[in-house]
Amino acid sequence: MKNRKSILVARLVLEDCRWAISNHTETLSGEALRVSWVSIVTLLRAVGHVLEKVDAVRDSDVAEVVREEWKKPRPENLFRFYR
């Protein structure tokens, strides 16, 4: 690993997603609801892309973990961060 103290870029994207979820309320409607929903889904998908395309390129340990974890189908993990 190049620098164990460096933060994963994917973690920043995940924090943005958490913020978007915390601001997604039942009172949203119309354009605000659509933009909020698309933002959340896009950020969630981006976490995986950033892990693979940025963090794994910068750190061989992360690359190995990402490679192994992509092989495991675990849909229950999709919502673990939300708790």
- In angstroms, the Cα distances linking 22 to 19, 32, 37, 39, 64 are 5, 14, 12, 12, 32
Mark residue 49 as left, alpha or beta (left: phi above 0; alpha: psi -120 to 50; beta: remaining): alpha
What pLDDT was estimated at residue 1?
46
> What's the pLDDT score for residue 50?
95
pLDDT of residue 72: 78
pLDDT score at 69: 84
Which residues of the chain carry a pLDDT beneath 50? 1, 5
Report yes or no on whether pTM surpasses 0.85.
no
Measured N-to-C along each axis, helices 30-50 and 9-22 cross at an angle, to the nearest 10 degrees, of 160
Q: What is the pLDDT of residue 70?
A: 80
